[in-house]
Amino acid sequence: MRAIIRSVFKPLIVASLLLTSSLLIASQAQGDSFTVAFQGGATNLDPISRLETLTINWQQYLFDTVTKLGARGEVKPSIAQAWKNDSINQWTFVIRRDVKFHDGTPLTAKDVAFSITRAQTDPKSQFKSTITAVKTAIASSTYSLTVTTDRPDPLLPSHLGGIAVVSEQNVKSSPDWAQKPIGSGPYIFKSWLAQDNLMLEANAAYWGGAPALKRVKLLNIPNSSARLAALLSNQVQLAEKINPQDAAKLEATAGYSVSTAPSTRVIYLAMDYRKIGSSGVGVDNPNPFANLKVREAVARAIDKNAIVKTVMGGLATPATQFVAPFVTGYDRLLKPLPYNLELAKKLMIDAGYPNGFNLRLDATNDRYLNDALIAQAVAGMLERIGIKTRVNAVSRTVLFPQLDKGDFSAFIGGWGSTDLGSTLISQAMCKNPKEGWGSVNRVGYCNADVDKLILQANSSFSAVERKQLFSAAMRQALLKDYLWIPLHLENVIHGFDSRDFAYKARGDEYIYTWEIAPR
């Protein structure tokens, strides 16, 4: 059977030879450890440093969060085992008594208060947008935490699901603590090579139960063919983001299985709102995307169904908004903008661009499923309305800092979240670093009416009113202002060695080896 596999997947086995010698040596040396191949690696192990799914996932092995979010966004107990809303602006959280950090010191409410305050006030924190309403977090006793807000936040327990708990003593006593972090999570830090691999050992004293997999390696293999080859050659036991075109072949291979799930991740096209100085169209030229008619023309020119069918092989779902259909607040009545090429051409003429313009379309080539191919497909559709498009597809380690600096005019991005309230605060509100609003609003979108709707929604204790306000904000931002052009929702497609392990993919894309059971 192995000979058959080598024959069928000969191109993939050849691809595996491109893996670095350090990877091969490490895989031979790790013996009985369980290795997970990711499409990237953590940029930092400080859990307030990067609001990005992949980095957060690696950090979750080391750190617990205040509360826990399920794969569909449902809030569950974690370090906080219970909570109550004392008054409209005050909450009490009961902290578990049986939790210890990896160095053996007890975790208390003081550590939780410190972690929330740090995420809310530290200048380098990217998590302020998730807890913008928090005013103070104070340990009222060893295992009781009082959180006050400066406006009502009915979703506070959910928002705290993204806040990792760190040791106050460890952070304050060691400036380089994040190089060898001490958390309370299911795995203990052993070693880390930035953005390449993280070596972990099961926490035998973990309050949630010792993981069955005792030694785990999280490994960055950016190339999809190399990830698949590593799986088939037993260098890894689980590989994320299997390309749709490879999923059926892997499923048909004895000893291997594919696990899929509807994803929370929306792939979208974003356009720059700055009137001048937009690098992708020429910094000295007026920015065409500042014109509403151009943005609508682009929205009308993109055939989402064609991208899903031809690029994604049907393993994706056309998207209409910021979140997936199973996320609370999703508006099922919000209909997608119809594809209309002729109207798009007319809008370009009406906008004053009958001959179009030149554009550099930025995208990653190692972050999302078929990301570079999606960019090429979008470029071809824009060409039909006169936008002469050159795709710049680069590594996530290059593109994300570039976007943070504002070096773009249009880009293909991805956003995965089960928290619509925090999503709208961070993506759709006018940028306000002091308040934590618009923290990842890179395009410079700003609509005071949308801001008002979002803040009202996040402050309402009525689920019905909250949904109506969220819907109104999304309809304005997406269907009238064209803040984003949602393209599709990815499917989670993971491949694994099914001879020895049982595994089920999560819709939020996180991989938790402590939930994997050997057969």
For 394-414, how does the pLDDT look when each residue is reduced to its tens digit (9 = 90+)? 999 899 999 999 999 999 999
Buried b / exposed e across 139-176, counting CB within 10 Å, b at 16+?
beeebebbbebeebbbbbbbbbbbbbbbbbbbbeeeee
pLDDT score of 321: 95
Q: For the residues 252-274, what does the mean pLDDT come to?
A: 95
Q: The CATH number of the domain where 411 resides is what?
A: 3.10.105.10
Both 132 and 187 in one domain: the answer is no
Span 123-150, pLDDT tens digits: 999 999 889 999 999 999 999 999 999 9
Q: The CATH number of the domain where 102 resides is what?
A: 3.90.76.10
Other Cβ atoms closer than 10 A to 209: 9
Per-residue confidence band for 444, with pLDDT thresholds at 50, 70 and 90: very high
Residue 9 has pLDDT above 60, yes or no: no
Both 258 and 294 in one domain: the answer is no
Which stretch of DSSP H or E encloses residue 390? Answer: strand 387-394
Residue bearing tokens 């890179």: 442
Span 225-256, pLDDT tens digits: 999 999 999 999 999 999 998 999 999 999 99
CA dist 348 and 382 (Å) reads: 11
Nearest to 90 by CA among 138, 40, 29: 138
Both 279 and 309 in one domain: the answer is yes
Backbone angles phi and psi of 130, in degrees to 5: -85, -15
Per-residue confidence band for 8, with pLDDT thresholds at 50, 70 and 90: very low
Residue 382 has pLDDT above 90, yes or no: yes
In a domain, 62, yes or no: no
Both 37 and 144 in one domain: the answer is no
CA dist 75 and 223 (Å) reads: 34
Q: Could you tell me what percent of the chain has a pLDDT over 70? A: 94
DSSP-assigned letters across all residues of 198-238: EEEEE-TT-TT---S--EEEEEE---HHHHHHHHHTTS-SE
For 110, the 3-state DSSP assignment is helix
In a domain, 225, yes or no: yes
For 263, the 3-state DSSP assignment is strand
Nearest to 409 by CA among 225, 272, 301: 272
Both 350 and 430 in one domain: the answer is yes
Other Cβ atoms closer than 10 A to 81: 17
Final residue belonging to a domain, choices 173, 208, 224:
173
pLDDT score of 276: 84
CA dist 157 and 150 (Å) reads: 16
Q: The CATH number of the domain where 12 resides is what?
A: 3.40.190.10
Nearest to 180 by CA among 89, 118, 102, 241: 102
Per-residue confidence band for 195, with pLDDT thresholds at 50, 70 and 90: confident
Both 224 and 357 in one domain: the answer is no
DSSP-assigned letters across all residues of 451-505: HHHHHHHHH-S-HHHHHHHHHHHHIIIIIIS-SEEEEEEEEEEEEEETTTEE---
In a domain, 281, yes or no: yes
CA dist 109 and 95 (Å) reads: 6
CA dist 266 and 485 (Å) reads: 10
Would the CA dihedral through 459, 460, 466, 472 be positive or negative? negative
Other Cβ atoms closer than 10 A to 365: 20
In a domain, 55, yes or no: no
Helices (H) and strands (E) in the chain, counts: 17, 19
CA dist 73 and 69 (Å) reads: 5
Domain count, the chain: 3
Q: What is the side-by-side order of every strand in the sheet holding 134-141? A: 80-87, 90-95, 144-149, 134-141
In a domain, 134, yes or no: yes
Both 352 and 451 in one domain: the answer is yes
The type of residue at 142 is T
DSSP assigned state of 255: T
User: In terms of pLDDT, which residue wins out, 471 or 52?
Assistant: 471
For 496, the 3-state DSSP assignment is strand
- Residue 422's domain comprises 263-491
In a domain, 302, yes or no: yes
For 517, the 3-state DSSP assignment is strand
Both 79 and 17 in one domain: the answer is no
Q: Could you tell me which residues come within 8 angstroms of residue 195 by beta carbon, excluding any fewer than 6 positions away?
A: 40, 41, 42, 43, 220, 397
Nearest to 132 by CA among 352, 399, 387, 458: 458
Alpha carbon distances (Å) from 318 to 132, 216, 420: 31, 36, 18
Phi-psi region of 507 (alpha: psi -120 to 50; beta: other; left: phi over 0): alpha
Length of the chain, in residues? 519
Q: Could you tell me what percent of the chain has a pLDDT over 90? A: 85
Nearest to 134 by CA among 435, 341, 389: 435
Span 304-352, pLDDT tens digits: 999 999 999 998 999 999 999 999 999 999 988 999 999 999 999 999 9
Both 390 and 424 in one domain: the answer is yes
Residue bearing tokens 């060691």: 174
Backbone angles phi and psi of 325, in degrees to 5: -60, -25
CA dist 4 and 362 (Å) reads: 40
In a domain, 58, yes or no: no
CA dist 48 and 128 (Å) reads: 9
Nearest to 361 by CA among 371, 351, 348: 371
pLDDT score of 245: 87
Nearest to 353 by CA among 286, 304, 303, 300: 286
Residue 286 has pLDDT above 70, yes or no: yes
Both 347 and 415 in one domain: the answer is yes
**What's the N-to-C CA distance of the chain in angstroms?**
21
Specify whether the CB–CB gap between 355 and 304 falls below 8 A: no
Final residue belonging to a domain, choices 173, 205, 226:
173
Both 283 and 431 in one domain: the answer is yes
Final residue belonging to a domain, choices 138, 173, 208:
173
Both 409 and 468 in one domain: the answer is yes
